[in-house]
Copies of this chain bind each other. A is one copy, B any other.
Amino acid sequence: MSPQPPSTVTIRDVALAAGVHVSTVSRALSPDKRGLISEEVLRVVEEAAQRLGYRPNRAASALRTGRTHTIGVLVPDITNPVFPPILQGVEASAAARGYFVFVTNVMDPALARPVVERMLAQQVDGLVMAIAMRDDPLIDYLQKAGMHTVLVNRADESGRLPAVVSDDRLAMKLAVDHLVAAGHRRIAHLAGPQNVPTGVARRQGVEQALRDRGLALAAVAECESYSREAGRQAMAQLLAQNERPEAVVCCNDLVALGAYDLLRAQGLRVPQDISITGHNDMPLVDMVDPPLTTIRLPHRELGWRAAEMLFDEIEGKSLSASTVVLRPELVVRASTRRVP
């Protein structure tokens, strides 16, 4: 018994069919107000709504209440495998709580502002942002606009907005400790873009972990983006510098794979000639040659938690923790060797 698909049946039609006033229908169909309605009427209304295939018009209720039950998500690049699981987490939470999610790709940070403007016009109830830059003016803008926002993956260093992130410093410490324990000493870093919070946090994490072991960073090269091509280029730079490192901690998997590309082109073998670590444990890095030692993140949970925080805030349910830091873990595979 599925309801009629077609037509536009409004609350008035239901009211007429049920022989009650529209406001009664509205109440009867509202989860928190249905307590005010008699059993009797409740039944009649629900039956009528069901029979007519009534679906409350969200645009109308949005206009009246100012709440659209929609949120926006801004990601830098959906094709980067880090984001789909985050999105999935966000969407799972949203679906469970009756929200829809606008997904937008913001490949160029300069385009973020217009996207946000459109989101505001669209009356979204909140935003999940995965594109924060360091000292991003967009964050001030969002706060002034009173838009509920939760950052994900990248936190704002000055803590202006709540965020759900992975512990980048710990991640790098895990990688460094693994390499040091395997006997490596000359350890270099392929750093992420230093205008992005994760880029600096990971670099600092590498440096700190090394210091803790009484070592210094052997060399470093900055990638201009978190991409395979950028990794290739940065690796070339690294190799052009003085002595070749024994191991390279990369800011992420794509960059590590770019390093693979360059090393192969130069006839160098991983891990015999050089050990490599990544970050993210994206799909298939267990199948590349050699399988990549990397850091696994709870991506889906990142998205889920960020969304939950956002909905709680939207619904005034709680003043949630300002920043949630999730724990990454090391996954040892075959791109790192133990020195004899």
**Interface residues in chain A, defined as those with a beta carbon under 8 Å from any beta carbon in chain B:** 2, 5-6, 55-60, 62-63, 68-70, 72, 78-79, 81, 83-85, 87-88, 91-92, 95, 98, 100-105, 113, 115, 117-123, 141-142, 144-146, 257, 260, 283-285, 287-289
Contact = CB atoms under 8 A, between A and B. Distances in A.
B79 A6 contact: no
Contact of A288 (B81, B92, B288): B288
Contact of A123 (B57, B91, B283): B57
A118 B99 CA distance: 9
A329 to B, nearest CB: 19
Contacts of A104: 91, 95, 100-101
Nearest to A3: B117
A57 B121 contact: yes
A122 B58 contact: yes
**Interface of A: prevailing SS:** mixed
A103 B87 contact: yes
Given A260-B287, A289-B288, A63 B55 contact: no
A88 B211 CA distance: 42
A161 to B, nearest CB: 15
Contact of A101 (B69, B103, B146): B103
Contacts of A142: 5
A59 B55 contact: no
Nearest to A287: B288
A288 B69 CA distance: 42
A139 B100 CA distance: 22
A283 B79 contact: yes
A235 to B, nearest CB: 15
Contact of A56 (B55, B115, B121, B144): B121
Contact of A100 (B102, B144, B146): B102
Contact of A85 (B79, B102, B283): B79
30 contacts: A2-B113, A2-B141, A5-B142, A6-B145, A55-B117, A57-B121, A57-B123, A58-B122, A59-B62, A60-B63, A62-B62, A62-B63, A63-B63, A70-B102, A72-B100, A79-B84, A81-B81, A81-B283, A83-B84, A84-B84, A91-B103, A91-B104, A91-B105, A92-B105, A100-B102, A100-B119, A100-B122, A260-B287, A283-B284, A288-B288
A112 B171 CA distance: 38
Contacts of A119: 100
Contacts of A6: 144-146
Contacts of A98: 118
A55 B119 CA distance: 10
A123 B5 contact: no
Nearest to A122: B58
A141 to B, nearest CB: 5
Nearest to A87: B78
Contacts of A68: 59
A68 B102 CA distance: 13
A225 B235 CA distance: 39
Contacts of A95: 104, 115
Given A85-B79, A101-B103, A123 B58 contact: yes
User: Of A58, A88, A102, A288, which is in contact with the most chain B CB atoms at under 10 Å from its CB?
Assistant: A58
Contacts of A92: 105
